[in-house]
């Protein structure tokens, strides 16, 4: 079976966030995503490209992602007959740049094939579990009280661990306060590359006192040799996120022994297939893994959940309830957390959730439709 895409609709979607998400290098208050709708005859597939707004997380933005889709990837997909999603994913890797645009259109192709075959993406990628442990992530706040109140509010929903964003000047204080208030909860930190070894080696080593699950991305994305040095001298496991943006960078991390854990994000690595390949490779070499998020809206989150049951993902995912970050979502049902801090992926359709067209229309701020020439 092969599929030929004959119609594509791009939508820029904007949904207000329930609270601004602040990390070490910037803040976002609205979630922007580009939803990609592919038609092959009667069969439809949806994908979501979900870069963070602004350029503080990565050089890719909603604007560059839209341009890449409109100018390059949509015309390209009209020129092809696609035999299977893996073949298409490998072709996309030849494009190289713009991982978020690639992840969005690749997700739509997986969705299209799963719909046509009457199966799930989970079956197609061979991920066994449909119950995915979930962790809470909290940003940086103006005060310790605000931080503690937000953790208390969301912990009631049952999340299996708490991830606190840190940066120079916002580290020992918040962690001391969190341990004082919440005791021995499973706790980790994410620095989003905000420290350097020359200035902060002692401080980073002193984080051992908090008995953390891991320190995520303490140093710059390309500072892998320094990261290896840090890994050798701290007891807390070191996790890479921004550093692990491709199979090539993962190989370098493995070669240098730079980290013992990898956070794999479908969007950042350019799609589900790359994420699965990187996860397989991490497993082979004894690197522990988990599935992170940007965070994304429901379509990309639901598709990532299809992958999150791979056996190598041993730590809780960053995929949270839809209502954690967004005032609304574009899927039905929305994602919720069950007792025990688990996301029970519904066993319905290609991705477990339906794309909810009324919400998609409501939050769309820009649309463009394309037809096969
Ligand atoms: Mg991170």
Q: What is the pLDDT of residue 56?
A: 63
Q: What is the pTM of this model?
A: 0.95
Q: Annotated catalytic residue: which of 31, 163, 265, 276?
A: 265
The yes-or-no verdict on residue 181 having pLDDT over 90 is yes
The yes-or-no verdict on residue 111 having pLDDT over 70 is yes
Residues forming beta bridges with residue 313, ordered by sequence position? 289
Q: Which residues contact 371 (CB under 8 A, 6 or more apart)?
A: 6, 7
Residue/partner pairs of 52-55 with CB below 8 Å, 24 or more apart? 52/26, 52/28, 52/294, 53/28, 54/26, 54/28
Residues forming beta bridges with residue 371, ordered by sequence position? 7
For residue 55, name the pLDDT band (cuts at 50, 70, 90): low
Residues forming beta bridges with residue 332, ordered by sequence position? 354
Whether 252 is catalytic is no
163 alpha carbon to ligand 1 midpoint, in Å?
Answer: 9
| Strand extents, DSSP E, the chain | 7-23, 26-40, 43-49, 131-133, 136-138, 162-165, 187-190, 215-216, 238-240, 261-264, 288-291, 331-332, 342-344, 354-355, 364-371
The yes-or-no verdict on residue 250 having pLDDT over 70 is yes
Tell me which residue range forms the domain holding 311: 124-344
Other Cβ atoms closer than 10 A to 191:
23
Determine the Cα–Cα distance for residues 60 and 51; give it in Å rounded to an integer.
6
CATH (domain of 80): 3.30.390.10
Q: What is the pLDDT of residue 294?
A: 87
Q: Are residues 165 and 242 in the same domain?
A: yes
Q: Are residues 145 and 112 in the same domain?
A: no
Q: Are residues 186 and 248 in the same domain?
A: yes
137 alpha carbon to ligand 1 midpoint, in Å?
Answer: 10
Six-digit token pair at 214?
Answer: 């891991």
Q: Are residues 99 and 206 in the same domain?
A: no
- SS3 category, 218: coil
Q: Are residues 133 and 194 in the same domain?
A: yes
Question: Into how many domains does the chain fold?
Answer: 2
Residue 286 lies in a domain: yes
Q: Annotated catalytic residue: which of 31, 156, 163, 165?
A: 165
DSSP 300: H
Q: Are residues 320 and 233 in the same domain?
A: yes
The model's pLDDT over 326-341, given as tens digits with 9 standing for 90+, comes to 999 999 999 999 989 9
294 alpha carbon to ligand 1 midpoint, in Å?
Answer: 8
Q: What is the pLDDT of residue 2?
A: 94
Q: Which residues place a Cβ less than 5 A from the ion ligand 1?
A: 190, 216, 241
CATH (domain of 241): 3.20.20.120
Residue 1 lies in a domain: no
The percentage of the chain sitting over the pLDDT mark of 70, rounded to a whole number, equals 99
The yes-or-no verdict on residue 25 having pLDDT over 80 is no
The model's pLDDT over 131-146, given as tens digits with 9 standing for 90+, comes to 999 999 999 999 999 9
314 alpha carbon to ligand 1 midpoint, in Å?
Answer: 16
Whether 165 is catalytic is yes
164 alpha carbon to ligand 1 midpoint, in Å?
Answer: 10
The model's pLDDT over 283-302, given as tens digits with 9 standing for 90+, comes to 999 999 999 998 999 999 99
- Give whole-number Cα distances, 180 to 148, 155, 168, 171, in Å: 10, 15, 21, 14
């Amino acid at each position: 079976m092969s599929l030929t895409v004959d119609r594509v609709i791009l939508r820029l979607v904007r949904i207000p966030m329930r609270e601004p998400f602040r990390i070490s290098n910037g803040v976002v208050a609205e979630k922007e995503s580009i939803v990609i709708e592919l038609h092959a005859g009667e069969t439809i597939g949806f994908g979501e490209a979900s870069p963070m707004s602004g350029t503080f997380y990565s050089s890719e933005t909603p604007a560059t992602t839209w341009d890449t889709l409109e100018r390059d990837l949509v015309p390209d997909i009209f020129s092809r007959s696609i035999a299977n999603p893996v073949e298409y994913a490998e072709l996309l890797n030849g494009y190289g740049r713009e991982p978020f645009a690639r992840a969005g259109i690749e997700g739509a192709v997986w969705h299209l094939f799963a719909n046509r075959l009457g199966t799930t993406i989970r079956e197609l990628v061979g991920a066994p579990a449909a119950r995915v442990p979930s962790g809470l992530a909290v940003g940086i706040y103006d005060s310790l009280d605000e931080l503690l109140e937000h953790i208390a509010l969301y912990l009631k929903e049952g999340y299996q661990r708490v991830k606190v964003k840190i940066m120079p000047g916002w580290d020992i204080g918040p962690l001391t306060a969190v341990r004082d208030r919440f005791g021995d909860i499973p706790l980790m930190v994410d620095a989003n590359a905000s420290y350097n070894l020359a200035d902060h080696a002692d401080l980073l080593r002193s984080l051992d006192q908090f008995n953390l699950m891991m320190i995520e991305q303490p140093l710059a994305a390309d500072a892998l040799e320094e990261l290896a040095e840090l890994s050798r001298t701290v007891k807390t496991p070191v996790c890479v996120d921004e550093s692990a943006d491709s199979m090539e960078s993962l190989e370098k991390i493995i070669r240098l022994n730079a980290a013992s854990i990898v956070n794999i994000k479908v969007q950042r690595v350019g799609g589900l297939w790359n994420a699965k390949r990187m996860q397989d490779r991490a497993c082979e070499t004894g690197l522990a893994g988990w599935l992170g998020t940007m965070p994304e809206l429901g379509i990309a989150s639901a598709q990532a959940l299809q992958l999150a049951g791979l056996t190598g993902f041993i730590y809780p995912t960053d995929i949270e309830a839809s209502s954690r970050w967004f005032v609304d979502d574009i899927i039905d049902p929305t994602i919720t957390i069950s007792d025990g801090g688990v996301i029970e992926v519904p066993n319905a359709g290609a991705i477990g959730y339906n794309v909810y067209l009324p919400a998609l229309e409501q939050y769309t701020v820009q649309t463009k439709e394309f037809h096969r020439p």
